[in-house]
Structure 1
């Protein structure tokens, strides 16, 4: 029913004028990110929903993974490269963004996580970012670029499908925008794809060649390569040989308290375990050792 009384309309107008700035202030307060617990050594970027929209925040992880670099077996060269690059970074020296690619289960993600306990006391902090939130990377960098700690932004199992636009935000942070790169931020990413995007046979048809034989790849291929090239350090991981796999199995069995005799007896079971899964890798070795330790504990 319309309000016809002039005095009532005036009072309502004054009430709305008084409430409007309060609503704006409430809206602004709800959309302001809460200060994270900076005493933590690991964080996860998450978006919090509010009645007025979503806001991105760093959520502290108070019990991060405790994997050590010495626990990673048969990836000595990869471990040396990552450890050296991270040491340069935490000591304020030039260092590169890192892309770890290759066979599944061979230690790519574990190697990144193992850097945290190794360099935590030197100021290293780890931020886990899901691929779906890569568009928030500029916002994340803005939150941490003036902090005294050294931050590695960690993107696990990174890959893009045709048409996805999140990789553009990643490219911007890797190379820096007009604002320049933050001195205390690096990106470490793992992927099963060397160029982070699927490669199609049709892209070869886009290539052209000159009369002198020089080959020019198609624009699609150039776009894919341009993203991976922004990582200064590429580190490849390869499937384990049988002896490598058994060596990792032995390491983890010792971790769970097995003696050398028990390790020898477990060899055939370990090979059967890998055969059933169609893979010989550090992850499969760890899973077998856990299963073995559980069965021994029950018996």
Structure 2
């Protein structure tokens, strides 16, 4: 198929697309413009690129009219159109390259224009159906949540904010607290898989060109100097001339046992030089996070309070005994409290 922008050729090609309510051909072509090979370049267009966009728009306009005549279709989607889809469809109908550029500058290319949460495994994948924890789900960590949200709000409003490390035992709610930030207005998040850290630079280059601000979420991070991920993160935080772009805030969680490498007793300077250097590297990296929030295990009273919170009612004495026995081998944590509450629902 000729041309740079690829568009659906028949009705079957529309079926895999996440289309909004309304005439599907126009929105499918608008999404094709979001996916175009020149979409990121259009954020800083040159005269030659505008000519290229104009040629593509002329071709796409003819093809759109042909599709509509050959296969007149009713709506295929149920959601309302996104402003980016509306703006690009209107620019296509007007054959207006400046309108295309304006829409891309306002909303970004695909998938960033249409979604606000993503997974990065070397490539960016939009998360279309979010299952977010309730904002009040965590019991016993209200101070940590408030500090985390206050810092994120500063970032989202364009003010200086601190890269954040959440650390503590498993099941204490670190990941829940991080994901809950997506409840904040304007919040967007990219969750980075551990194996994708070597390609983090390419992702940051993309994000830096976009009009929005992004929380970069690294879950269950090991801060062990022998871990390959440690060196990629170290270069990002302290060894790069550029550092993270201004519109990206790092948000990492780490288990307490991962925070400082197990070295036996803490080595002293001059004794076991390699162990001492490794310890200093780990501590230096953790200090690069300007905001460090600790999530300690719950005590007995808070654990029972968390169970009652998840149930939405008080516990009977018999249920309290069962809850404590349930936690006997699992420990007191928010995760265990939620699991036990589910056995009573």
Superposition TM-score tier, normalisation by shorter sequence: 0.7 to 0.9
> Match of 1:157?
220
SS at match of 2:327: helix
For the structure 1 residues 231 and 37, does the alpha-carbon distance in structure 2 shift closer, same or farther, using more than 3 Å as the test? closer
CA-based RMSD of the aligned residues comes to 2.7
In the aligned structure 2, how far is the partner of 1:285 from the partner of 1:92? 37
In the aligned structure 2, how far is the partner of 1:197 from the partner of 1:93? 31
Contact map agreement 2:223 2:258 (CA 8 A) in 1:
no
In the aligned structure 2, how far is the partner of 1:208 from the partner of 1:266? 56
Asked whether 1:60 is paired with 2:126, we answer yes
SS at match of 2:256: coil
Correspondence for 1:208 among 261, 270, 273: 270
Structure 2 unaligned blocks of 5 or more: 1-35, 41-108
Correspondence for 2:304 among 219, 229, 246: 246
Give the TM-score of the pair, scaled to structure 2.
0.63
For the structure 1 residues 198 and 218, does the alpha-carbon distance in structure 2 shift closer, same or farther, using more than 3 Å as the test? closer
Structure 1 unaligned blocks of 5 or more: 1-28, 47-55, 210-216, 294-299
Pick the structure with more strand per residue.
1
In the aligned structure 2, how far is the partner of 1:180 from the partner of 1:228? 16
Contact map agreement 1:65 1:113 (CA 8 A) in 2:
no
Contact map agreement 1:105 1:282 (CA 8 A) in 2:
yes
SS at match of 2:188: strand
Q: How many residues align?
A: 238
Larger C-alpha radius of gyration, 1 or 2? 1
Contact map agreement 2:208 2:246 (CA 8 A) in 1:
yes
Highest relative contact order (Cα 8 Å, sep 6+), 1 or 2?
A: 1
Contact map agreement 1:250 1:263 (CA 8 A) in 2:
no
Asked whether 1:93 is paired with 2:159, we answer yes
Asked whether 1:82 is paired with 2:148, we answer yes
> Match of 1:11?
none
